[in-house]
Amino acid sequence: MNNLIAVQTILEQYQAVRQLTETICAPLMIEDYVVQPMADVSPPKWHIGHVTWFFETFVLVPHKKGYKVFNEQYPFVFNSYYESAGARILRTNRGNLTRPSVEDIYKYRAYVDEHMKEWLSTTALTEALHDLVTIGLHHEQQHQELLFTDIKYILGTNPLLPKYKDAAPIEQVTSLSNEWLPVEQGNYQIGHQGDGFFYDNEQGVHQVYLHDYQIQDRLVTNGEFIEFVEAGGYQQFQHWLSAGWVWVKENQATQPLYWYKIDGEWHHYKLSGLEKINPYEPVTHVNFYEASAFALWSGKRLPTEFEWEIACRHYAPTIANEANFSDDGHLHPIPQQNGHHQLYGDVWEWTNSSYLPYPYYKKAEGALGEYNGKFMIDQMVLRGGSCATSRNHIRPTYRNFFPTHSNWQFMGFRLAMSL
Amino acid sequence: MNNLIAVQTILEQYQAVRQLTETICAPLMIEDYVVQPMADVSPPKWHIGHVTWFFETFVLVPHKKGYKVFNEQYPFVFNSYYESAGARILRTNRGNLTRPSVEDIYKYRAYVDEHMKEWLSTTALTEALHDLVTIGLHHEQQHQELLFTDIKYILGTNPLLPKYKDAAPIEQVTSLSNEWLPVEQGNYQIGHQGDGFFYDNEQGVHQVYLHDYQIQDRLVTNGEFIEFVEAGGYQQFQHWLSAGWVWVKENQATQPLYWYKIDGEWHHYKLSGLEKINPYEPVTHVNFYEASAFALWSGKRLPTEFEWEIACRHYAPTIANEANFSDDGHLHPIPQQNGHHQLYGDVWEWTNSSYLPYPYYKKAEGALGEYNGKFMIDQMVLRGGSCATSRNHIRPTYRNFFPTHSNWQFMGFRLAMSL
Amino acid sequence: MNNLIAVQTILEQYQAVRQLTETICAPLMIEDYVVQPMADVSPPKWHIGHVTWFFETFVLVPHKKGYKVFNEQYPFVFNSYYESAGARILRTNRGNLTRPSVEDIYKYRAYVDEHMKEWLSTTALTEALHDLVTIGLHHEQQHQELLFTDIKYILGTNPLLPKYKDAAPIEQVTSLSNEWLPVEQGNYQIGHQGDGFFYDNEQGVHQVYLHDYQIQDRLVTNGEFIEFVEAGGYQQFQHWLSAGWVWVKENQATQPLYWYKIDGEWHHYKLSGLEKINPYEPVTHVNFYEASAFALWSGKRLPTEFEWEIACRHYAPTIANEANFSDDGHLHPIPQQNGHHQLYGDVWEWTNSSYLPYPYYKKAEGALGEYNGKFMIDQMVLRGGSCATSRNHIRPTYRNFFPTHSNWQFMGFRLAMSL
Amino acid sequence: MNNLIAVQTILEQYQAVRQLTETICAPLMIEDYVVQPMADVSPPKWHIGHVTWFFETFVLVPHKKGYKVFNEQYPFVFNSYYESAGARILRTNRGNLTRPSVEDIYKYRAYVDEHMKEWLSTTALTEALHDLVTIGLHHEQQHQELLFTDIKYILGTNPLLPKYKDAAPIEQVTSLSNEWLPVEQGNYQIGHQGDGFFYDNEQGVHQVYLHDYQIQDRLVTNGEFIEFVEAGGYQQFQHWLSAGWVWVKENQATQPLYWYKIDGEWHHYKLSGLEKINPYEPVTHVNFYEASAFALWSGKRLPTEFEWEIACRHYAPTIANEANFSDDGHLHPIPQQNGHHQLYGDVWEWTNSSYLPYPYYKKAEGALGEYNGKFMIDQMVLRGGSCATSRNHIRPTYRNFFPTHSNWQFMGFRLAMSL
């Protein structure tokens, strides 16, 4: 756990994280909690039940004496993918369940929170138990990010394009830096070291050799991506990976998700509603194929996750105030401020690295071993956190991962080149 | 329009029908209004918006001077299948829309109702306009039946099996009649004659020749269907149509929809909750394949729609009090009372007739020509209305129609045999 | 069996039918025997094995003493849909099997033919056995027609459009009759009566009442269908059944199968190769949706199968010399000759009747009960035989049946109207 | 080009490679050339046309003066995936084409061979042209391997399990080595250096840092894999990647492709027919999921492609006589001989590395740029060649790649562990 919340007790942390989930959902209408417009999106009410089930199943049931589960049928509904934790509804059926109702799920939250409070207030946690609660909190923070992006998909694919909520105002900019950050060749250390929370997929600290390279000092912008679109980028197979070109054809893709050309001007749907595209903002909601095609078209390439991590450690060892997280209330990437490198926040940055285990990675025993390890195939690594990530959730070694076609997260990219 | 409501003014009729829709929805939680667990089911909020859109689009917009549509985007959301009425969301996307909210749709209803009231109160309707409003009311009655069955599917496929509402109590019976109703060979008149409302698919009065036959004097029961199930009916290809056997295999079907064997006893989900199966009740939620397989297994056959209609006209020219409609509050077929023939109400009865036009059928011009005619292929006719039909909606010539695999309506059957 | 072949002994009939199958295949290259470019098409080598398996399984094995099956594994490969006859490869896998080779299958044919010859030469057939052999011959004649149409699909969807073989020359015509054949209202007898072979689906002789109607005195032509195409018929939803419009959209259909517009002129692929469309020829390779849309567009309708049968019995009680069958070597419908009504041959005529059992129909016991009865759902009836049918295979009561979307048979239609 | 063929002129090389393709096809019946039982498999006749089209399109048309293409329609049929080379039939339609016939395709080969011979005999090749012809030869060698594996799939999924041809006899062994080959940590050079042919995906020579590890001194065997199968490996989710477990469930996988348990004993289909499994042979036809599950079950892991390459360079810098290639006629992996490390030949070895570009990789311009680069996503790297690879085709830096679910190639694996 990084220092922003390390000063809190574990109970304070628990209460802060749990409260934030409810704050995120506050603007929703009951209807918004229920649907699943594509398989990757979960209904908000499922998210808030699932994160609660996580504490009930992995903390309260095994560790709080005399704890009685709230409802015997909820585990079937709220288990996501833990084979060890028993049967569960098909992922694609989440959006068919109207019950438990939102109200009942909030009662479930309150019940579990009450028991967690009692237990955390009266129990001297072993390190293992402390870590378990902490993983539950980070797990919930991940679902908070999914709540933002799933809510965006639910509202942003609705023909009425309803607003989720107003965004914090941003400072207008009219120019951007345009430099490259060089890194010298040599052996570098990768993976999480030192104190603080980290996921098991960052484990396996190891050396990598990097050749001379440089990396953009900011994110690729909407303005730059519009050039690609208007140069016919989506019509020219040359720039695309073979699977990417299949994706373009099958989806008749001609522009990023949520973009609309209205009366000759580019608009996009943001959580604050439909608006004209600001060319200085980082481009987002592009999938790996789109990022890769842009990079090839521009004669550059995407960085590897190792290049990204080392550049980040060197050029942005700590998180600057300019970094744009969910805490900042923009809920959208913002234009570069004061030459800020944008390595943290704004958008998850696609890298050209597959999500694979580090050399010394060991899958944990039991259900928590299913947390990360079993997904280490056919996904690409993204780094740095986004405008929907909590500021205290991110670190330079954090590895996010999604399949190549995913675009509903706040995903963007920066370019790199070998020297 | 039959005599039960003919004594009312058209405005009174309008208000009664519109009110019933809201009464049906009253027990729902907001969540229940939103989902679409299979393509054939529509979210309740879509139904209540769609029937309102029908009046707005086909009555108010063309006929009420100065009428302003409630929301320019609603037609895109609430058009069902009228090509003439413009673009519309994909049917399978209905369950992805959280907005307009339930509250907004009720406002839409109130707005349209207000305008309809004003217009109906102040306009001397031509016969054509009277017919148009009447068709809108019958259309809404059809959606009332779909509301019952879609709500049943939404709640009945939820792992919590929540109750919709309590059912009116029924009288217990311990025996059933077991006779056959004979009809003599000869030419008979088919199709709607006389006064009162009817759909265009009943039009084209014509003669058919029927050979001697007899038809069961009641519906096939749960008890009889359990025999079929327990005799291995779902495991023996001999009884099934080829397409039916494919359906059995692909769906691993072993019993009707909503049936569960719990501790050795057959239960089913009803709108009043899970309960033990009453063997004297008519079987329901069987598709055409299941009805046909039972018939073949029992050495009999299903009647044609013509055989059904003539038997109905002869043996049940008027609707008896014992007939079980949605007005009666059982919301499930009930055991035969007093030897009642069950030709009206309880379940829609599968016939062995395809839904095809009558000899003199003419498709109407314009959007209303899309009401029935374009569906006259690859569907089977069902007759008689169900426990979810309004008593004043049905008549002997009424032709309902569904594809062979459909089982989520209150569908059942009776047997027939040639002599 | 009708009189053309009744003068032959059953062995002579057997040898004639079996020989024709091989004659049909003679122009094929080995490669052409193997593929299955869509699920409904079977590889020619499968057909010639399957019809042989039919005689082996239903005649030789049960009835010829000491008969030893040619290869124990062939039944698995060559059973089509007889559940009673054991397991079989998936229909869609037929085109994946390179073995048994064409040569081996011809050896299989020779082996079975030898045994059949021996058995037929030395056995006094009971009537039941005579009927069984006869059904095997008619079964093989049906597969001969499928051979023509499957070969056409295999070659006609190949980008090289190879010719199957030259067609017999036709007499050019420059005008057509344009009359209607009236039938008076009354009760009529439907179904097969008298001597000669018939399928069980023609069984159940019964009366139907027909209202006054008239039917075209010839088939709808290419020239007339081109008018529909060029009037935008495939772009206007009004003419189409709802399911037909879905078919148009999903298949981006703009014209019949095998039609091409080349340099502004309509061409089509025939078994004799690509050529300019003759407007006087009957249109063919249209599915039910296309026939129905044309009929609605033209303000007429399709006849029912009963209307067709009675008109046929009245206006064409016997098969004229002008009737165009596979025996005539055109392998394509030909322009009307001498005012011939074209009720037999040329194209199977879509009717507006569903394929359902006649009143007194009884499914036979055992495997042959699977021949027709289990397909009596969700298919439409076609009448009259085609240019790919053997002249001695057809009769006025013959009921062919295909699903609404099928267009790879020689399917066409004529119009009807009520009076 | 490695030294085995470097002593030949380019024409001799051309003729040797082209001849081998025909030798591979010699045992086929015409039928075997035509089908495509799954999307990844191409009909043999397509392969032999495609490799010919490659020389015609990329060598003869642009470089041989006055060359006239054999048939204007062949490029549409025989282009595989080169967008730059124009339209082409859908990959999944390859198995629907009976024409061009096998005979015509051999004529096409002869025509192109004649022109190539003339051109190679009379032209002083620039280095670029020499490289172009060489790439064409290596391309054909790749298709030779696909011919073996596609033929195996075509015959091995046929219920008759026909033999392709007899295999060269092998020496029986009754024990195997069981050692680990250690490699010390440090920086190592990866990628192709020096003379000889290599693909562009080996380009981008660069350093990687490897931690201490060791790798098995032989391949995992059938005997070892049977232990996994019989210990319930396919029934226990714990060993599987999440996507792998989905694959197991969807395919109801319980053992490797081509394995059968007959009367309690494990058999498998080999190109020489069905036989009892030899436990000392390397396991093959396992996909990445199966390899990964076995590795996790055994407490080890798969090596990365870098670990494999460095171990290979160190422990097997040259190809031993014991290495089992297509030249050796076994057409199946063979038991370890004389402690041979089996790094070359036998089976392609799955590594835990994704197929991604090396740091300095540059996609070539034009059609050949489509050869490898556009596939660098969502595939895993395999190393070392197989029993279906030509001995002169392989080298330590050779990178093969397939999606995780692929199992129809001769794929196997060895284990590794960090120290």
Q: How do residues D302-338 score in pLDDT, each as one tens digit?
A: 999 999 999 999 999 999 999 999 999 999 999 999 9
Find the residue in C nearest to D162 (Cα): C99
Residue of D90, D242, D353 to mutate, interface with A, max A Cβ within 10 Å = D242
Domain for residue A253, yes or no?
yes
User: Which residues sit opposite D324 in a β-bridge?
Assistant: D345
Please identify, among A109, A140, A156, the residue that sits at the C-terminal boundary of a domain: A156
How far apart CA C253 and CA C405 sit, in angstroms, is 12
pLDDT-derived band of residue A229, with 50, 70 and 90 as boundaries? very high
Per-residue pLDDT tens over the stretch A25-77 = 999 999 999 999 999 999 999 999 999 999 999 999 999 999 999 999 999 99
Q: How many whole angstroms separate alpha carbon B322 and alpha carbon B339?
A: 9
Hey, are the CB atoms on A35 and B98 less than 8 Å from each other? yes
Summarised one tens digit per residue, pLDDT across range C67-86 is: 999 999 999 999 998 888 88
By Cβ distance, the residue of B81, B241, B376 closest to C376 is B241
- Of the candidates A32, A73, A102, the beta carbon closest to that of B98 is on A32
Cβ-contact A200, A306 below 8 angstroms = no
For residue B7, what pLDDT is reported?
64
* Same domain (yes/no): B137, B200: no
- The answer to whether A357 contacts D352, with C-beta atoms less than 8 Å apart, is yes
Same domain, yes or no: B225 and B152: no
Residues D340 and D210 in one domain: yes
Name the CA dihedral angle for C91, C96, C100, C101, rounded to a multiple of 10 degrees: 130
A108 and A184 belong to one structural domain: no
Chain C residues touching residue D45 (CB < 8 angstroms): 31
DSSP, res B283: P
Which residue is closest to B153 within chain A, CA to CA?
A96
pLDDT tens digit string along C238-271? 999 999 999 999 999 999 999 999 999 999 999 9
Q: Which of C31, C93, C96 sits opposite D98 (nearest CB)?
A: C31
**Is A377 within 8 Å of D243 when comparing Cβ atoms?**
yes
Please answer yes or no on whether C32 and D98 come within 8 Å at the CB atom: yes
Question: Looking at the complex, does the CB of residue D16 fall below 8 Å from at least one CB of chain C?
Answer: no
Amino acid D369: pLDDT? 78
Rounded Cα distance, A404 and A350, in Å: 9
**Residue-level pLDDT at C4:** 43
CA atoms of C404 and B310, how far apart (whole Å): 30
Q: Inform me whether the C-beta atom of residue C201 falls under 8 Å from chain B C-beta atoms.
A: no
Query: In angstroms, what separates the C-alpha of C132 from chain B's closest C-alpha?
Result: 21
Give D-chain residues touching A354 at CB under 8 angstroms. 354, 356
Task: Check if B377 contacts C (Cβ < 8 Å).
Answer: yes
CB C30 within 8 A of CB D30: yes
Q: Which two tokens stand for residue C67?
A: 């008969």
Tell me whether A96 touches chain B (CB under 8 Å): yes
Residue D301, φ and ψ in degrees, nearest 5? -150, 170
Cβ atoms of C200 and C171 closer than 8 Å = no
How are strands ordered across the β-sheet holding B180-183?
Answer: B180-183, B213-216, B416-418
Contact of B317 with chain C, judged by CB distance below 8 Å, is answered with no
pLDDT of amino acid A371 = 81
**Considering its fold, how many domains does chain A have in total?**
2
Mind telling me how many Å the CA of A85 is from chain B's nearest CA?
Answer: 17
pLDDT confidence bin for D391, thresholds 50/70/90: very high
B contact residues 116-155, partner A, Cβ 8 Å cutoff: 154-155
C-alpha distances (whole Å) from B17 to each of A6, B11, B12, B215 are 62, 10, 9, 34
Q: CA dist D101 to B142, B303, C44, C95, C278, Å? A: 59, 55, 16, 17, 31
Q: Which residues of A touch B95 (CB under 8 A)?
A: 35, 95-96
| pLDDT score recorded for residue C370 | 80
Q: Are B350 and B380 in contact (CB under 8 A)?
A: yes
D211 lies within 8 A of chain A by CB? yes
pLDDT given for residue B3 in this prediction? 39
Determine the average pLDDT of the residues in D26-51: 98
Contacts of A74 (CB under 8 A, 6+ apart): A49, A53, A56, A100, A108
Distance from first CA to last CA of chain D, Å, rounded?
A: 37
Chain D residues in contact with C31 (beta carbon < 8 A)? 30-31, 33-34, 45, 98-99, 101-102
Contacts of D36 in chain C (CB under 8 A): 96
**Could you tell me if C294 and C220 are in contact, meaning their C-beta atoms sit under 8 angstroms apart?**
yes
A357 touching D, CB under 8 A?
yes
Neighbors of chain A with 3 or more C-beta pairs under 8 Å: B, D
Q: Report residue C228's pLDDT band, with 50, 70 and 90 as the boundaries.
A: very high
DSSP conformation letters of C118-179: HHHHH----HHHHHHHHHHHHHHHHHHHHHHHHHHHHHHTSTT-----PPPP----S-----
Regarding whether B325 and B241 lie in a shared domain, the answer is: yes
Q: What is the rounded distance in angstroms from the CA atom of residue C400 to the CA atom of residue C379?
A: 10
Mean pLDDT of all residues in chain D? 95
CA–CA separation, B48 vs B101, rounded Å? 12
Same domain, B259 and B136: no
What's the confidence (pLDDT) of residue A4? 43
Pair D232, D122 in one domain: no
CATH number for D190: 3.90.1580.10
Mutate to test the interface with C, among D29, D30, D31, D163 (most CBs of C within 10 A): D31
Nearest chain B CA: its distance from C325 CA (Å):
30
User: Measured between alpha carbons, how far is D418 from D212 in angstroms, rounded to an integer?
Assistant: 6
Predicted local distance difference test score (pLDDT) of residue D3:
39
Q: Tell me which residue range forms the domain holding C213.
A: 180-418
Q: Decide if C165 is inside a domain.
A: no
How much of chain A, in percent, has pLDDT values that exceed 70?
Answer: 98
> CA-CA distances (angstroms) from residue A238 to A247, C23, D146?
14, 51, 26
Residue A7 pLDDT? 64
Neighbours of chain B (3+ CB pairs under 8 A): A, C
Phi and psi (nearest 5°) for D91?
Answer: -50, -40
Does the structure show a pLDDT above 70 at B5? no
Same domain, C187 and C307: yes
- Helices then strands, counting H and E runs in chain A, come out as 11, 12
Chains B vs D: touching, with 3+ CB pairs under 8 Å? no
Q: Which one of A371, A374, A402 would you mutate to disrupt binding with D, by most D Cβ within 10 Å of its Cβ? A: A374
Q: What's the confidence (pLDDT) of residue D4?
A: 43
Are D314 and D348 in the same domain? yes
Shortest CB distance from B378 goes to which of C296, C376, C378?
C378
- Report the distance separating Cα D416 and Cα D311, nearest Å: 11
Contact D76 C36 (CB under 8 A): no
Which of these ranges, B84-88, B396-400, C281-285, D22-26, has the smallest mean pLDDT?
B84-88
What is the distance in angstroms between the Cα of B48 and the nearest Cα belonging to chain A?
15
In a domain, B146, yes or no: yes
Closest CA to D325 of D276, D398, D223, D381: D398
* Spatial distance between the Cα atoms of A413 and D76, rounded to a whole number of angstroms: 38
Q: Is D169 part of a structural domain of the chain?
A: no
Read off the CATH number of the domain in which B42 is found: 1.20.120
Question: Mean pLDDT in chain A?
Answer: 95
Average confidence (pLDDT) over C60-66: 97
Q: Which residues of A touch D401 (CB under 8 A)?
A: none
Residue with tokens 């290639």: D325
Nearest to D16 by CA among D125, D129, D116, D148: D116
Mean pLDDT on A70-95: 91
| Bridge partners for D418 per DSSP | D213
**B184 occurs within a structural domain:** yes
Q: Does the residue C172 lie in any domain?
A: no
Q: Spell out the alpha helix ranges (H) of B56-212.
A: 61-63, 74-78, 102-122, 127-156
Region A285-311 average pLDDT: 98
Identify the residue with better confidence: B106 or C367. Answer: B106
* From A206, A213, A241, residue closest to D377, measured CB to CB: A241
Q: Is residue C171 part of a domain?
A: no
Q: What is the pLDDT of residue C2?
A: 43
Which residues contact residue B87 at a Cβ distance below 8 angstroms, ignoring those fewer than 6 apart?
A: B76, B79
The predicted pLDDT at position B6 comes to 52
Q: Is the per-residue pLDDT at A274 higher than 90?
A: yes
> Which chains pack against D, by 3+ Cβ pairs within 8 A?
A, C
Domain boundary among B90, B121, B156: B156
Are C141 and C193 in the same domain?
A: no
- Residue C368 CA to residue C373 CA, distance in Å, equals 9
D83 in contact with A, Cβ within 8 Å: yes
Check B245 against C83: CB less than 8 A apart.
yes
Q: Which residues in A lie closer than 8 A to residue D245 (C-beta atoms)?
A: 83, 374
Residue of A nearest to B95 (CA): A35
Distance from CA of C157 to the nearest CA of D (A): 8
Q: Answer whether A376 sits within 8 Å of D83, measured CB to CB.
A: no
Q: Cβ distance A25 to A44 under 8 Å?
A: yes
- Would you tell me which residues 20-49 of chain C have a C-beta closer than 8 angstroms to some C-beta of chain D? 29-37, 45
- In the listed set D122, D156, D190, which residue is the last one of a domain according to the structure? D156
Chains with 3+ CB–CB pairs under 8 A to C are B, D
Contacts of A403 (CB under 8 A, 6+ apart): A288, A378, A379, A380
Domain identity same for B150 and B246: no
Q: Any chain A CB within 8 A of the CB of B415?
A: no
Query: Of C35, C73, C101, which has the smallest distance from its Cβ to D98's Cβ?
Result: C35
Q: Does A187 touch chain D (CB under 8 A)?
A: yes
Check residue A3 and give its pLDDT: 39
A6: part of which helix (H) or strand (E)?
A: helix A3-6
* Contact list, C93 vs chain D (CB under 8 Å): 37
- Same domain for A91 and A144? yes
Mean per-residue pLDDT of chain B: 95
Instruction: Tell me if C168 is assigned to some domain.
Output: no
Task: Check whether B405 has a pLDDT greater than 90.
Answer: yes
- D242:A375 CB<8 A: yes
C31 and D89 within 8 Å at the Cβ level: the answer is no
Partners of residue C76 in chain D, C-beta under 8 Å: 159
Share of chain C above pLDDT 90, in %: 90
